[in-house]
Structure 1
Amino acid sequence: MTMLADDQTAAAVLAAVPCYPVPPVGRSPTIDALRDARAGHGLAIGNDGVMLILRRPWLELDVPVAPPISCYLPYGSIGGRRADLRCGLIPGDHLDHILDHFRAALPNEEAAFVLWNEVTREFAVHLPVIDEATPSRLVYRTPGLEPDWHVVCDIHSHGTGPAFFSATDNTDDADATKISLVIGQFADPNGPAMAARLCAGGMFLPLPRNPFSGDLRCSLIPATATIFPLSSPIA
């Protein structure tokens, strides 16, 4: 087999994020294996663009990251975009608990994580250690995870202020794969509002719907960028 790099470290990096051409007919066993993987990510190159394929135990993501390459490529199509929650939608009761916790912390900001266990398929709310909390600043710690547990949502509040992602949030979320939520406007008579995005592959992707199930007490702020379907597979 031809080596892509003569340096072992460089070869390991390239192997960790592989790049595959899409065949013009039939299927690609290597791309299918990447899509079926428990975890991993790579790129598929087709005649209609470049697709990031990212897998986590709780997430399946296929999203175009580049337009069609201008030169002729004898490749097939990368296919449609998708974002499926392997874990399913998060029970709405967990959001209710988080909202009550955030209200109790007013006027200060507060934080919470939603975790998921890939063996038991149960969700749990984790309230992190808070190092500093004021009405305009929050410093909190990411949880240390036990085996089989994964962070699905990283959530913090803006108190009575608007829900938005700050420059600090952008830096904190840049290298993570998670759903990031900011909840604010707790004094609004129509209830709090939530800004949401999917952080994956160094990108921030808008969510078209609330990732929690049920009749919710928190509205999702409409995304301003192009959205893609976010579905929950039936177990």
Structure 2
Amino acid sequence: MTKNNNPAHATDMHYGALHNHLVQADKAATSLIDALLPLADLYPIASSHEDDSKLLDIASFKTVPTAIVPPWGMFTPLTENKHRFLLAKDGLHIEVRRPWLHFIHRLYEEKSIAMPFGEITPRIDLAFGRLGVALDLMRAFVRDAMDQLPNEHIRHLAWDEQAQALVPVDLQIETATPGAVQYRAPDLPDHQTLAIDIHSHGALPAFFSDQDNKDDAGSVKFSGVIGNLDTSTPTLEFRLCVLGLYLPVHVPADKLFGG
């Protein structure tokens, strides 16, 4: 048995092994690209087949696709918990699905150009039927918020698919002052999804602050604020937050504070 102690020979062997690995990796990458390139014809992306970023564009498109509303066939709504854009006769819509929500909303209207697509009806379908079913839970929060005066308070309500009901989430309040509340939210089990986020402004009026807008950005939930809790005429504001859209929701004050 012989042993070669020549450093140059050992270096050449390591280089050769590394070179072989790189060649194999390059072949594998080339094969993958060749296999994926036919997909480029399936997705209407306005770029060249020779563009190195084409496959990244396809991956992005598949994550949040754009679908055509059929002018003749039957429209099939989303079943997965995701969102997509819809090209319809009257413009561009967004469709969002969550365990507690099916949402279709027009983002941009087109009147001048005849769009060769089908019609779609806006909708806000709630698994729990209507926001009013949460009134008892929200009234309980109002009482707790009044007990916390002059500080702010917060409550989350989740949709529980197993119980088919809205349930309160156990939040860990870390600090609370008249101007802010800091808290820690637990990871929800798979059968629960945040549906309603409501907080108080103590003695201040109810309004959505810049911080509220930052907190709600990109989320899908109902968001509510109650204020003037030290008076006989408390105030409130509610909205539906959908990925940056904020749609005002009317909740009668007497329903929330008069029960």
Q: Give the structure-2-normalised TM-score.
A: 0.73
* Structure 2 spans left out of the alignment, 5+ residues: 1-38, 46-52
Aligned to 2:204: 161
Q: Aligned ranges for residues 1-235 of structure 1 at < 5 Å? A: 2-4=41-43, 7-28=54-75, 32-34=76-78, 37-68=79-110, 70-77=112-119, 79-89=120-130, 90-190=133-233, 192-209=234-251, 216-218=255-257
The letter for the 1-side match of 2:173 is I
SS in structure 2 at match of 1:217: helix
Aligned to 1:232: none
C-alpha contact 1:109 1:137 (8 A) present in aligned 2: yes
Deviation, 1:70, is: 4.5
Aligned equivalents of 1:11 and 1:124: distance in 2?
A: 39
Q: How large is the RMSD of aligned CA atoms in angstroms? A: 2.2
The structure-2 alpha-carbon separation of the partners of 1:110 and 1:46, relative to structure 1 and needing over 3 Å to count, comes to same
Aligned equivalents of 1:141 and 1:70: distance in 2?
A: 50
Deviation, 1:181, is: 0.6
- Of the structure 1 ranges 97-106 and 137-146, higher mean CA displacement relative to structure 2 is found in 137-146
- Residue by residue, what CA displacement relative to the aligned partner does 1:81-135 show, whole Å, maximum 9, x if unpaired? 2212113343422112111111111110011101121122132112422232111
Aligned equivalents of 2:111 and 2:140: distance in 1?
A: 48
Between 1 and 2, higher relative CO (CA 8 Å, sep ≥ 6) is seen in 1
C-alpha contact 2:88 2:117 (8 A) present in aligned 1: yes
SS in structure 2 at match of 1:94: helix
Aligned equivalents of 1:97 and 1:112: distance in 2?
A: 10
The letter for the 1-side match of 2:204 is G
Deviation, 1:23, is: 2.6
- The percent of aligned pairs where both chains have the same amino acid is 32
Count of matched residue positions in the alignment of Structure 1 and Structure 2 = 208
Aligned equivalents of 1:25 and 1:206: distance in 2?
A: 34
* Structure 1 spans left out of the alignment, 5+ residues: 220-235
